[in-house]
C-alpha cells in the first residue's frame, strides 16, 4: 500500500533528498532575488493603482498628490531596507523579526511579531493569487466566471512546486520575475524617450474619461485623512521585505552578505518601478475609480457594470507600447504570472518561521522537520490551507482582501527595529574598540530612525484601514498569539512533568518480564519506565534504538545516556532522509532475517492525554510506527503508557458515565472505591 501511495507522491514532488544534500538546495543571489523578493517586486503591479483608487474619492484633482505619496513610500522603503540590512548581519540564523524581538524585547514581543508575520504571510498568498486571477480574468472570461475555483487551483499548484524544494521552485519563478522586471524597465525607459525626447503624446485607454468625485472639495482634516489612507495603500509595495531576513539560512555563503546585497537590489528595483509607473500614469492621464460602474464617466455617462477596469500597469503599457502589441502582451502575461508567483515569498517565509516557532515549542513540533525534498513541507501545507480558506471566504476579491493587508507587516517592522536599538545599546555597553563602536552607533541611528518611521506608519495604517477590514487581521494575530501561548504552556507542562530525575527511580515502576527493542527519542521518565519494563521481561537481548533525524538532538541524547550510565546499549539508526518509521521498520526486519525463528518485541513509550487537541501534539510518530509494525510478521508491539496530568480529567469525565480505568493506571496506584461500591463488594 505504501508503494502505491509513494508513486504519485514522487511524481508530484520528486525523489527524496538526503540530509547531506541540504547544501545543494542553498540559493545564489540570482535565484534568491525572485524567491524572496517576488512579493515587493510584483506589488508595483497593484500598489500604484491602490493609491489612485483612494485619491479618486476626491476626484481627478487629487491625483496631483500621487507623486508626493510616491516620494513618501520611497523614503519608507529605503529606510526599511537599510534597517533590515542591519538585521541580517546581526541575526543571520533566520529568525528575522521574531528572533530580534524575542531576544531584545522578550517572549511576548517576539510572539506578537510572529503572530503578525504568520497572518501577513497567509494574506500575501491570498492577495497575490486573487490579484493574479483578476488580471488573467480580464483576458480570459472563464477565469472571471470561476474566480474562486481558479484561485484555489493556483494555490494548489504553487504548493506542489514549493513541496519540490526551494531551489527548484526558485528556478521556475526566476524567469517570469526577471521578464516582468525587464518589461517594466523597458516600458519606463521607452515612455521617457517617447514623452521627453520624441515629444509623442501618449494617452491611456481611460485618458478621456472623467471621475465623479464621491467627496468633492475635500479640505482640512478630511483631505489629510484621505492622503494618509492613500499612503497606507501605497505601502503595499513594502510587503515581503522582511522575508529576506527570515530566509538568510537559505542563501549561499557568505549568507549575511548575500542577503544584505539581495535586500539592497530588491529595494532599488521596487522603488524605481513604483515611481516609474506612478510617473507614467500621470503622464498618460490614467483614470481609476473605486466603483467604476457609477463613478467613471465616458462622455458624461457612467461606464456601467459591464466595464472592466484594467490595472494601472496595463493602461500604462497600452499607452506606451500600444494596445495589443508584442511588448504589451508579453508584459501583461508576465504581470499576471508574477502576481501568482509573488505568493512564493510567503511560501519561503512562513515555513521557516513556523520551523523556528516549533523549535521554541510555540507550534506543533511537526513543523520543525524537513520533508522529503528538504523543504518544511508541513508548514507549506498549513500555509496553503489557511490561504484557501481566506480566498473562499472573500471570493478571491483582492479589493476586499487588500484591506486586511499591511497591518501585520508594520507591527513586525516596528517591534523589530525597536529590538535592534536595544541590541546595539547592549553591545555598546561592553564594546571598547572605537572603530566597532562607530559602526554600532551608525547602525543604531539607522534602526532608531526606522523604528520611529515604521511606528508612525503603523498608527496611520491602523487609523485608515481598521474599519475597512484590517480588524480581521488584528483578530487573526490575537488568535495566533493565544493559540501559540497555549501550545507553549502545554509543552512546558509536559516537559516538567516527564523530566527525568538524576536519581534513577525505576525500581518503583517495574512491572513483571520480556525484551527486544526499546524506542528512544530523549531521556525522560517515559523512556526510563519503558527501559525498566523491558528489563524485567527477561528476553535474550535488549537494546535501545534511536533515529538520527537531528544531529544536535542525537548528540544530546548520547551525552545524557553516558552521563546517566544507563546499562542498556544505545543504537542510533542513520536517517539521511529524516524519516523515523522506515529506518526502524528496516532494522526490525533485519533482526528477523538474522534469526527467523525468534520473535521481536518493540516497546514504544506513549503519552496518555486527556484532551482531544493534545492528540495533535503527541504520539503521531508512535501511531505511524504501530500501524506499520503490526503488519510485520514475527513482531510484537508493546505500548508503555505514561499518564500526563491531563489524563486525570478524562478519567473523571469517563467515571460520570461508567467505571473506567486508563491504560497503565498502575503508575498512580490503586484508586479508592466509592463507599457504595465497597459496601456492595462486602455483601
SS3 readout for 349-394: HHHHHHHHHHHCCCCCHHHHCCCCCCCCHHHHHHHHHHHHHHHHHC
Residue 304, all three cell numbers: 456601467
Calpha distance 369→371 (Å, rounded): 7
For 135-144, how does the pLDDT look when each residue is reduced to its tens digit (9 = 90+)? 677 667 777 7
Q: Which of 266, 238, 240, 249 is nearest to 347 (CA)?
A: 240
Residue 607 confidence (pLDDT) = 80
For residue 427, give the H/E element and its range: helix 407-428
Calpha distance 395→390 (Å, rounded): 8
Q: Which residue has the cell 493574479?
A: 132
pLDDT at 114 over 70: yes
Residue 418 confidence (pLDDT) = 92
pLDDT at 47 over 70: yes
Give the residue-averaged pLDDT of 374-384: 77
pLDDT at 214 over 70: no
- % of the chain beyond a pLDDT of 70: 83
Q: How many residues does the chain have?
A: 683
| Non-local CB neighbours of 582 within 8 Å, separated by 6+ positions | 575
Residue 14 confidence (pLDDT) = 53
Give the residue-averaged pLDDT of 224-231: 82
Order across the sheet with 600-608: list the strands.
570-574, 543-548, 516-519, 600-608, 635-643
Q: How far is CA 378 from CA 53, 192, 621, in A?
A: 38, 48, 14
Residue 337 confidence (pLDDT) = 81
Residue 523, all three cell numbers: 531521556
Residue 521, all three cell numbers: 527519542
Q: How far is CA 663 from CA 101, 585, 647, 660, 667, in A?
A: 44, 25, 10, 10, 10
Residue 270, all three cell numbers: 521596487
3-state SS, residue 540: coil
3-state SS, residue 296: strand
Rounded to the nearest 10°, the torsion over CA 483, 487, 488, 493 is 140
pLDDT-wise least confident of 78-82, 109-113, 645-649: 645-649
Q: Which of 76, 69, 38 is nearest to 53 (CA)?
A: 69
Residue 224, all three cell numbers: 489629510
pLDDT at 450 over 80: yes
Give the residue-averaged pLDDT of 215-224: 66
Q: Which residue has the cell 483608487?
A: 53
First CA to last CA distance, the chain = 56
Residue 677 confidence (pLDDT) = 43
pLDDT band at 170 (very low <50, low <70, confident <90, very high): low
Calpha distance 61→72 (Å, rounded): 19
pLDDT at 426 over 70: yes
Label residue 324 left, alpha or beta by phi (over 0 means left) and psi (-120 to 50 means alpha): left
The larger pLDDT score, comparing residue 540 to residue 509, is at: 540
| Non-local CB neighbours of 208 within 8 Å, separated by 6+ positions | 298
The larger pLDDT score, comparing residue 166 to residue 133, is at: 133
The larger pLDDT score, comparing residue 405 to residue 122, is at: 122
3-state SS, residue 274: helix
pLDDT at 387 over 60: yes
Q: Alpha helix locations (H) across 307-343?
A: 312-321, 326-341
- 241 exposed, middle or buried (CB, 10 Å; 0-12, 13-18, 19+)? buried
For 588-626, how does the pLDDT look when each residue is reduced to its tens digit (9 = 90+)? 888 888 877 778 888 988 888 777 777 777 666 777 888
Q: Which fold has domain 45-221+238-398+412-455?
A: Amino acid/polyamine transporter I (1.20.1740)
Calpha distance 394→122 (Å, rounded): 13
Quick one: three-class SS letters along 15-54?
CCCCHHHHHHHCECHHHHHHHHHHHHHHHHHCHHHHHHHH
Calpha distance 611→604 (Å, rounded): 21
Residue 172 confidence (pLDDT) = 66
Residue 153 has, within 13 A of its CA and on its CB side, a CA count of 7
For 520-571, how does the pLDDT look when each residue is reduced to its tens digit (9 = 90+)? 988 888 888 888 888 887 777 889 999 888 888 889 899 889 888 888 999 9
Q: How far is CA 555 from CA 547, 551, 561, 572, 617, in A?
A: 12, 6, 10, 10, 24
The larger pLDDT score, comparing residue 113 to residue 12, is at: 113
The larger pLDDT score, comparing residue 443 to residue 9, is at: 443
Whole-structure pTM over 0.75, yes or no?
Answer: no
pLDDT at 439 over 70: yes
pLDDT at 674 over 60: no
Calpha distance 310→325 (Å, rounded): 16
Residue 258, all three cell numbers: 548575500
301-302 and 516-519 beta bridge pairing: unpaired
Instruction: Extract long-range pairs of 307-312: CB within 8 Å, 24+ residues apart.
Output: 308/138, 310/138, 310/205, 311/45, 311/46, 311/49, 311/135, 311/335, 312/46, 312/48, 312/49, 312/52, 312/277, 312/281, 312/286, 312/288
The larger pLDDT score, comparing residue 662 to residue 340, is at: 340
pLDDT at 185 over 90: yes
pLDDT at 365 over 80: no
Q: Which residue has the cell 508567483?
A: 341
Calpha distance 557→522 (Å, rounded): 6
pLDDT at 297 over 80: yes
Calpha distance 126→469 (Å, rounded): 15
3-state SS, residue 441: helix
For residue 343, give the H/E element and its range: none
| Non-local CB neighbours of 605 within 8 Å, separated by 6+ positions | 518, 519, 520, 526, 527, 529, 530, 622, 640, 642
Domain chopping of the chain, boundaries: 45-221+238-398+412-455, 507-682
Rounded to the nearest 10°, the torsion over CA 640, 641, 642, 643 is -170
Residue 91 confidence (pLDDT) = 80
- % of the chain beyond a pLDDT of 90: 7
For 629-669, how does the pLDDT look when each residue is reduced to its tens digit (9 = 90+)? 887 777 888 888 888 877 776 666 656 554 444 444 443 44
CB neighbours of residue 581 within 10 Å: 16
Q: How far is CA 193 from CA 196, 329, 482, 517, in A?
A: 6, 21, 55, 77
Calpha distance 32→252 (Å, rounded): 9
pLDDT-wise least confident of 359-373, 405-419, 467-481, 583-597: 359-373
Q: Which residue has the cell 533485519?
A: 590
344 backbone dihedrals φ, ψ, rounded to 5°:
-65, -25
The larger pLDDT score, comparing residue 228 to residue 669, is at: 228
For 260-294, how does the pLDDT look when each residue is reduced to its tens digit (9 = 90+)? 888 888 888 988 998 999 999 989 988 888 778 88
CA Rg, the chain, in Å? 30
304 backbone dihedrals φ, ψ, rounded to 5°:
85, 170
| Non-local CB neighbours of 554 within 8 Å, separated by 6+ positions | 546, 548, 572
pLDDT at 482 over 90: yes
Residue 188 confidence (pLDDT) = 92
Residue 618 has, within 13 A of its CA and on its CB side, a CA count of 22
pLDDT, averaged across the chain: 79
Amino acid at each position: 500500500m505504501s508503494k502505491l501511495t509513494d508513486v504519485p507522491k514522487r511524481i508530484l514532488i520528486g525523489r527524496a533528498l538526503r540530509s547531506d544534500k541540504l547544501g545543494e538546495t542553498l540559493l545564489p543571489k540570482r535565484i534568491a532575488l525572485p524567491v524572496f523578493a517576488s512579493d515587493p517586486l510584483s506589488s508595483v503591479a497593484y500598489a500604484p493603482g491602490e493609491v489612485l483608487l483612494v485619491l479618486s474619492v476626491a476626484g481627478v484633482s487629487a491625483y496631483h498628490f500621487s507623486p508626493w505619496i510616491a516620494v513618501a513610500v520611497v523614503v519608507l522603503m529605503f529606510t526599511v531596507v537599510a534597517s533590515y540590512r542591519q538585521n541580517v548581519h546581526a541575526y543571520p540564523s533566520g529568525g528575522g523579526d521574531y528572533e530580534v524581538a524575542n531576544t531584545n524585547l522578550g517572549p511576548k514581543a517576539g510572539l506578537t511579531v510572529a503572530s503578525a508575520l504568520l497572518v501577513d504571510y497567509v494574506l500575501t498568498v491570498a492577495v497575490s493569487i486573487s490579484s493574479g486571477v483578476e488580471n488573467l480574468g480580464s483576458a480570459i472570461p472563464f477565469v472571471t466566471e470561476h474566480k474562486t475555483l481558479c484561485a484555489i487551483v493556483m494555490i494548489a499548484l504553487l504548493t506542489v512546486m514549493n513541496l519540490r524544494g526551494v531551489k527548484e521552485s526558485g528556478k521556475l519563478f526566476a524567469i517570469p520575475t526577471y521578464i516582468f522586471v525587464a518589461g517594466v524597465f523597458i516600458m519606463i525607459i521607452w515612455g521617457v524617450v517617447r514623452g521627453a525626447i520624441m515629444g509623442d503624446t501618449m494617452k491611456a485607454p481611460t485618458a478621456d474619461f472623467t471621475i465623479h468625485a464621491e467627496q468633492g472639495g475635500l479640505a482640512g482634516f478630511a483631505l489629510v485623512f484621505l492622503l494618509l489612507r492613500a499612503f497606507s495603500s501605497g505601502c503595499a509595495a513594502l510587503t515581503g521585505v522582511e522575508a529576506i531576513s527570515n530566509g538568510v539560512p537559505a542563501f549561499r555563503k557568505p549568507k549575511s552578505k548575500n542577503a544584505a546585497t539581495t535586500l539592497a537590489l530588491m529595494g532599488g528595483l521596487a522603488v524605481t518601478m513604483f515611481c516609474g509607473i506612478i510617473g507614467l500614469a500621470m503622464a498618460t492621464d490614467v483614470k481609476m475609480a473605486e466603483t467604476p460602474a457609477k463613478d467613471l464617466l465616458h462622455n458624461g455617462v457612467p461606464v456601467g457594470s459591464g466595464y472592466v477596469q484594467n490595472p494601472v500597469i496595463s493602461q500604462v503599457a497600452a499607452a506606451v507600447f500600444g494596445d495589443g502589441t508584442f511588448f504589451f502582451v508579453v508584459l501583461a502575461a508576465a504581470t499576471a504570472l508574477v502576481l501568482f508567483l509573488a505568493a512564493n515569498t510567503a511560501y519561503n517565509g512562513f515555513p521557516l518561521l513556523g520551523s523556528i516557532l516549533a523549535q521554541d515549542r510555540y507550534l506543533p513540533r511537526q513543523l520543525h522537520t524537513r520533508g522529503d525534498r528538504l523543504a518544511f513541507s508541513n508548514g507549506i501545507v498549513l500555509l496553503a490551507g489557511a490561504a484557501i480558506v481566506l480566498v473562499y471566504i472573500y471570493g478571491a476579491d483582492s479589493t476586499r482582501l487588500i484591506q486586511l493587508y499591511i497591518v501585520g507587516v508594520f507591527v513586525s517592522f516596528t517591534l523589530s527595529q525597536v529590538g535592534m536599538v536595544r541590541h546595539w545599546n547592549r553591545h555598546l555597553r561592553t564594546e571598547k574598540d572605537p572603530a566597532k563602536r562607530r559602526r554600532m552607533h551608525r547602525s543604531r541611528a539607522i534602526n532608531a530612525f526606522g523604528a520611529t518611521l515604521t511606528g508612525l506608519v503603523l498608527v496611520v495604517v491602523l487609523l485608515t484601514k481598521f474599519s475597512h477590514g484590517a480588524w480581521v487581521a488584528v483578530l487573526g494575530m490575537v488568535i495566533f498569539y493565544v493559540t501559540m501561548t497555549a501550545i507553549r504552556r502545554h509543552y512546558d507542562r509536559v516537559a516538567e512533568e516527564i523530566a527525568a530525575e538524576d536519581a534513577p527511580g525505576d525500581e518503583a515502576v517495574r512491572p513483571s518480564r520480556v525484551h527486544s527493542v526499546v524506542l528512544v527519542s530523549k531521556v525522560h521518565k517515559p523512556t526510563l519506565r519503558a527501559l525498566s519494563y523491558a528489563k524485567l521481561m527477561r528476553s535474550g537481548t535488549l537494546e535501545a534504538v534511536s533515529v538520527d533525524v537531528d544531529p544536535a538532538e542525537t548528540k544530546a541524547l548520547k551525552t545524557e545516556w553516558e552521563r546517566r550510565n544507563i546499562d542498556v546499549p544505545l543504537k542510533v539508526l542513520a536517517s539521511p532522509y529524516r524519516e523515523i518509521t522506515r529506518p526502524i521498520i528496516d532494522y526490525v526486519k533485519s533482526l528477523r532475517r538474522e534469526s527467523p525463528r525468534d520473535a521481536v518485541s518493540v516497546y514504544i513509550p506513549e503519552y496518555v492525554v486527556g484532551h482531544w487537541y493534545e492528540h495533535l501534539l503527541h504520539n503521531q510518530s508512535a501511531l505511524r510506527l504501530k500501524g506499520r509494525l503490526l503488519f510485520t510478521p514475527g513482531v510484537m508491539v508493546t505500548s508503555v503508557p505514561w499518564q500526563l496530568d491531563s489524563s486525570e480529567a478524562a478519567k473523571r469525565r469517563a467515571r460520570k458515565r461508567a467505571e473506567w480505568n486508563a491504560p497503565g493506571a498502575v503508575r498512580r496506584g490503586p484508586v479508592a472505591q466509592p463507599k457504595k461500591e465497597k459496601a456492595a463488594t462486602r455483601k
